[in-house]
Chains A and B, each alone.
Chain A
């Protein structure tokens, strides 16, 4: 048996026979399409959405190529409009939201010590709805892709001005991904409410789980609104109704109100899980508990509530009453407070820690820096007279990418680097990971920082060409070059994942010495996740288990993979 000195990190596994793990598992492609295992569904979610991320990224690069030079004629106006419509819709509905669902599918049950989701078959349905919606949407590429923007404002998106079927494919996508998200959200909520490990009270829930719980509630309230809005668009387009037609008593502003009443909570649906990921990763690599657990959990809930009161700040230039302008400016200010509190809590978590600069931590730190800029530019946009100048320009394009790409995407990459060892049992290369981070971080800054200036210089978004005046040509060229550096960073991570699947170092159950229960089982976890679920005594159960094992001495520490019942499970756990 190893001594404490030789084996300072007790490798604890909850599962009895690690090497026989796969004995009872089905193999082959039929086992994937029929699976109800939350881990396999989670993997399918993550792989599918990452493919859509790459498609959306190619669309983004084509947009940047077109804008690389003034008066460029690389693509036609029609194709350009299709590109940014596909790009925005893909990144939001087919990448960020379902990627968060994929991460949660895999890790939420593991983190709360559950053996699966509450409704495994419903879970599979959520995935297949998502895939169907995405495939139909992308099939429109072969006919008429939609070209009214991801916001699809009426009347531009109605049958008169967008007669093509692409707009209907877009509606179909919104319906199916919306249904997928609602079913997933109900499942997450039911799982968290009912299937937590013994001792895991609400105050001991991992912060990622808190974030997913809030994500679920936001989806349950917000998605039906967009579903109603696009249903009315569908009936306006095909069945002669006039919900949005001003000549028949309808209102184009109704669409804007409904769209953003969904659209603003959607922003938090995309970013809150990322906040959760950061709140999990920072303490692990700072070797310190999260600073202000309650404040972070409470601010998550506060942001979710306030997120429903700020929709009209996307409509400051629309003909709406002044009282609404003022109300929404103030509510948008309010939401900056809990968001700011989180930032300070994360920095305080790093403070006086012993920070290990591993790739997941780098992506989290990059996220804090970029989201800080995105949050601050959001305050400019919340002041409605200032927004009158900034709205619908490249300033807004920069802002949305700082919060969604710098925010959500960087946290997704942090999550990939952090959890890849658990999913595959192998480590990602640190060297490639750091290279990927620096390319993405500086590529991102080069692409989007200058876009604030482009917007201030008066360039609206969604224009396929711009005149060669002032420094617009130079700024846009910088942005285009930056986007390719950013893309190179993403490619490095893809190569890293492909390489590490076969050649990565064996991870073991708990390579990071982390705090939450997913690290209690083997990597990858067995079908049933845990043979024995430990009693949870704090918000950091793995820390307690490691301490307990160390206290009892090396004699009871099992060698990894030993076919004996591990000490952690029997003595500490139950």
Chain B
């Protein structure tokens, strides 16, 4: 494999196994590409220097060479077949999420509510357990909805904007949707990007080993605020994550309760004719 000093020439990696596997596949293609590039550009340079017009030189009147031409056509095809085989060999490690580690957050089995009428192919860990977060793209902010809805219609689920908090050593699957225009979810160190298309579901995953902060931004033009539609993934130890999630739930429950009280009070005021009906 290439030495790490060549990171300049390779995609971002180091956050999640899928990003690392894309990076290693990229490096293999890079080596093949560099060999082909130098061979062809070397041939071109040699021809230009060696066969420049000189006094007394005559050009060879060759119209072609079938054996040579068939040969390099087959050679090109063989290289590309090899590349396809390499890609298929590594595809699984990029697409299929592993199980969470024993030290990861405790997870329940996957249960997806709602009707999916158009989706990309979805990949789950072998044991079917992952922390599933819904990523909602909207102009110009990312919203993250965590499991734990306290009402059957999905309401009351904890959520956050811009910063996604996730537990380490835990497989996190993302369900990517959009509420307005097409966006593209991308945290470079956590793997590739996936479009958030209204009416569709798109899926990816990551699994972070060490606590840390991973940044990214919307990768598909979504309007004037596109450049500022940033996203952060903050990986914390599972216990800390669970505490954070509980706190979020509590905050949201409190806010909802306060809203209920305020609504009731407003309703009473409207009924008594103290304020105009809003």
Contact = CB atoms under 8 A, between A and B. Distances in A.
A144 interface: no
B161 interface: no
A252 B12 contact: no
A343 B191 CA distance: 34
Interface string A119-161: 0000000000000000000000000000111000111100001
For the side of the interface on A, what is the size category? Answer: 35 or more
Most buried by B among A292, A295, A351, A389: A389
Interface stretch (A27-35, A462-470, A557-565): A462-470
B222 interface: yes
A344 B68 CA distance: 10
B194 to A, nearest CB: 5
B233 interface: no
B186 to A, nearest CB: 7
A347 B44 contact: yes
Contact of A465 (B29, B33, B41, B227): B227
Contacts, number: 251
Contact of B188 (A287, A389, A453): A389
A385 B77 CA distance: 21
A336 interface: yes
B195 A317 contact: yes
B44 A368 contact: yes
Contact of B224 (A147, A343, A344, A386): A147
A253 B197 contact: yes
Contacts of B41: 369, 372
A52 B130 CA distance: 54
A452 B87 CA distance: 21
Contacts of A457: 12
B57 to A, nearest CB: 5
A354 to B, nearest CB: 4
Interface string B84-105: 1001001100110000000000
A26 B112 CA distance: 76
Given A386-B29, A389-B193, A354 B57 contact: yes
A386 B22 contact: yes
B198 interface: yes
B76 A385 contact: no
B253 interface: no
Contacts of A247: 198-199
Chain B binding surface, main DSSP class: mixed
Interface stretch (A175-183, A373-381, A405-413): A373-381
Interface residues of B, number: 85
Given A347-B43, A352-B59, A383-B29, A463 B227 contact: yes
Nearest to A389: B11
A350 B47 contact: yes
A294 B64 contact: yes
Interface stretch (A233-241, A264-272, A318-326, A438-446): A318-326
B227 A464 contact: yes
Interface stretch (B116-124, B144-152, B258-266): B116-124
B10 interface: yes
B87 A385 contact: yes
Given A161-B223, A388-B194, A289 B61 contact: yes
A329 interface: yes
B199 A251 contact: yes
A385 B51 contact: no
A412 B273 CA distance: 77
Contacts of B48: 350, 355, 365
Contacts of B4: none
A343 B40 contact: yes
A330 interface: yes
A77 B197 contact: no
B227 A353 contact: no
Most buried by A among B11, B37, B217: B11
A78 interface: yes
Interface stretch (B165-173, B177-185, B240-248): B177-185
Contacts of B29: 379-380, 383, 386
8 contacts: A77-B225, A155-B198, A295-B73, A352-B62, A356-B53, A372-B40, A389-B23, A389-B191
Interface of B: 8-12, 19, 21-23, 25-26, 29-30, 33, 36-37, 40-41, 43-44, 47-48, 51-54, 57-65, 68-69, 72-73, 76-77, 80-81, 83-84, 87, 90-91, 94-95, 118-121, 139, 180-182, 184, 186, 188, 191-195, 197-202, 216-228
